[in-house]
Each structure stands twice: as C-alpha cells, then as structure tokens.
Amino acid sequence: MGIGGDVTHLAAVRGDLRRRTGETVMSGFSPEWLALRESHDLRARNPVVLGAVADRFRSRDSLNVVDLACGAGSTVRAIGPHLQARQHWDLVDNDPHLLALACGGNDDSDVRLNAVSLDLGGNFEAVLDSTKHLVTTSALLDLVSETWLDRLVRHIASRALPFYAALTYDGRTDFFPSDPLDEIIISAVNAHQRTDKGFGPALGPSAAAAAISRFEAAGYSVIQGRSDWQIGTADHEMQRALLSGWAQAAREIEALPHRDIDDWLARRNENVDLSASTMRVGHVDFFAVPMTIR
C-alpha cells in the first residue's frame, strides 16, 4: 500500500491495485492523488543520488530510458531536466488514462515519450530487452515481492543496465505533535505494506535494503540516500489523505479496536485543521551502476 498515500503510487501493475498505505484507501492510483503527491516527491528526491544519475550520462548525446510504473509521468518530469542528452523514454504502466497523462503535454523536441501498456505483475522482462541505457522507477519497490525483485535484478544485471529507484518507503514515520497511538498505527501500516499488492507478499519497508544488497551482490556500485517527505503545517490535504489511508490500513490489520483508530484519526485531523501538525515519511533513493555501461 505505499505509505505515501500511494497511497504512492502509480498504476503500472494492476488497474485495481492499491499501491501504498494511503493508496489502499484512495481510489486506486487516481490522477488526483498522483498530482497531490508529486510536489512532495520532487522536493524529497535525494540530490546526491540524482546528481550521480546526471553525471553518469553527461557525456552522452542520446539516451534511451525505460520507466517502470510510470503513473502520470512524475519520474520523467523530475529527472529529465537533469539529463542533457536527447532522450527517448518508454513509459510503462497498465492504466491507459495515466499513460495518456504521462505522455501528454510534452513540448520538448529533445524528449520523446512512448507509452507502453503492460501489467508489471506478469512478464515484464521484454520491455528491458531492446537497447536501453537506464532503467528507472519511483515508489514501486516496496510493493513487490522478493521473487519479483530477484527477477528484476537478475534481468537488469544480465544486461549491465544502470538502475535508478526513487522514493521507496522504508518504514519510518514521525509525527509532531505525537500521539500515544502513533507507534501502534504505523506498525500496523508497515504490516499492511507487506501484504500482497499484486506481485506476491510485498517486501514493504525492507524493499530498498533488499534491492541494494542484491545489486551489490551482482557487482554493482550503489549510491544511496534518504528521500523523506517533509510534510508541513500548511499541507492539509496531503496530511488528511495519508491519515485516512493509514487509519484504514490499521483497521484492516485489526491492530486496535476500530473506535480507538477512529479516535486517533480525529485527534490527528484536529491538529491538521489547527495547522499544528507536521509529518516526516521515510523513503530511500538509490542509483545502482554496473562496472561498465553498454
């Protein structure tokens, strides 16, 4: 369920899939949710990791990129301006409406966008088999299973492709002011993150560490850094969306009596209404680079 309300995510997996914690309770990966979270994603992306991606390809005059679970196209908008080369992007998702949004409105003649309709819960390897220089994804890995991740790393490593993964939820969430039930609720959220999101039992908060260790074992060098959402007192809509999703996740896990969860949600929303609430939601970015690039 992605913690971000994604509750993160996108819909390159299954049309009825709920991506992240908040997404579990929102209507799929709606364009409205993706638009709401995009500015937070953009601010959160780790600049050191993003800089490493840009530096790696600075000498190229053309670049072929595939973005897995592209949603409405936030990844290409976030990192495309940092890549100086002429760019061709294969944007992969299974939601035709999101693909249309991702590929629409591009007026940069040096950036070509190609929509690829594909359910990543099935056979995804073919989309990586044509000439590619970079594979990207955002807010996907915490939704996938260990088996799916092994397939992905094995296929990418066999082709010596660099891999940039952003905004993978890692289980850390802090509130101000605190509430006595915060820890129980977030523990339930993290347990919910590990349920099946369409790929088998999800890795949830352990996904980033699992992916990094697998790429390192495959001989990759990995640059990593935190990319936490810092959600401020004025971000009322974002906070309410997240809180609603987290409360629903706690109900589904049956962490507490529903009345206690409802009371927690009411107290947290009261702080939001008073512009007295802040949140930090932990994510990790990493860039995995093989010894050589094709």
Share the mean pLDDT of the chain: 89
Q: Report pLDDT digits (tens) over 261-279.
A: 999 999 999 999 999 999 9
Residue with tokens 């035709």: 96
- Distance from C-alpha of 190 to C-alpha of 239, rounded to nearest angstrom: 18
Across residues 194-223, what is the average pLDDT?
96
The superfamily (CATH) of domain 22-289 is Vaccinia Virus protein VP39 (3.40.50.150)
List CB contacts of 149: < 8 A, sequence separation 6 or more: 141, 203, 207, 210, 211, 214
Joined together, the tokens standing for residue 179 give 């509430």
Whole-number percent of the chain with pLDDT over 70: 89
Measured between its terminal Cα atoms, the distance across the chain in Å is 35
279 three-class SS? strand
Instruction: State residue 173's pLDDT score.
Output: 97
pLDDT band for position 292 (cuts 50, 70, 90): low
Reported as a pLDDT band with limits 50, 70 and 90, residue 131 is: confident
Q: By three-state DSSP, how is residue 190 classified?
A: helix
**139 in Cβ contact with 2 (< 8 Å):** yes
Q: Where are the domains of the chain?
A: 22-289
Q: Tell me the mean pLDDT in the region 146-157.
A: 97
81 preceded by a cis bond (ω within 30 of 0) = no
Instruction: Specify whether the CB–CB gap between 23 and 224 falls below 8 A.
Output: no
Give pLDDT tens digits for 42-65. Answer: 999 999 999 999 999 999 999 999
Place of tokens 């860039």: 287
Residue 10 — very low, low, confident or very high, per pLDDT cuts 50/70/90? very low
pLDDT tens-digit series, residues 244-263: 999 999 999 999 999 999 99
Question: Which residues lie below 8 Å from residue 270, measured CB to CB, with a gap of 6+?
Answer: none
Q: Is the pLDDT of residue 212 over 80?
A: yes
